[in-house]
Amino acid sequence: MESKNNHIQWKKIVHAIADKRDEEAFKTLFLHFYDDLTHFSTSIIQDETIAEDLVAELMMKVWLMGENLLKVKNIKTYLFIAIKNLSLNVLAKNKVISSTPLASYDLSTVNSPEEILIHKEITLHIDAVIEALPPKCKMAFILVKDNACSYKEAAAIMEVSTNTIDRHIQIALRKIQVALEKIK
């Protein structure tokens, strides 16, 4: 179900799941989106275990949708909107927010212990800036930069315009740049 350039053909996957209850197609969908959806949910609710449960719950709903799944125009946008809503519902119910690191970065290009220490310090500063962003700005940044959503996809997920997404990204990048200039 992949084309020549390794892009997954989501319409075929969705049809296979909806029409034939194809477990391999569902597995492809699940594995492709699981990490990104979990990361996105974790960025909202700050609890990876609950985020994993929410993603599993969402995927179960997708499996059980049957022919209604065919009404979904863009599966990626649908999944991110759904996980955002599930995560926000958990926040509304629990009103508990804890703190976890946003992401770990690749240290494979860092050679010396000094470089590792500097890289970790910079990473901590960037994580702190991202965590301190206003909620919608943070959500836009994570969707675009961490989950490789286009501005259009992020706008659909957040139910705002692409100009708003662009503005959020500009604000986030400016704050990161200012923070990095302070540690030089």
Token pair in block for residue 43: 């960025």
How many structural domains are present in the chain? Answer: 2
Three-class SS state of 8: strand
Q: Are 91 and 97 in contact (CB under 8 A)?
A: yes
User: Per-residue pLDDT tens for 152-167?
Assistant: 989 998 999 999 999 9
Token pair in block for residue 170: 């500009």
pTM of the predicted model as reported, rounded to 2 decimal places: 0.62
* 56 and 80 together in one domain: yes
* H/E stretch holding 160: none
* 89 and 124 together in one domain: no
Could you give the CA distance from residue 71 to residue 69 in angstroms, rounded to a whole number? 5
User: Per-residue pLDDT tens for 108-121?
Assistant: 454 677 777 777 77
* 111 and 71 together in one domain: no
* Residue-range definition of the domain harbouring residue 32: 1-100
pLDDT at 145: 84
Could you give the CA distance from residue 130 to residue 134 in angstroms, rounded to a whole number? 9
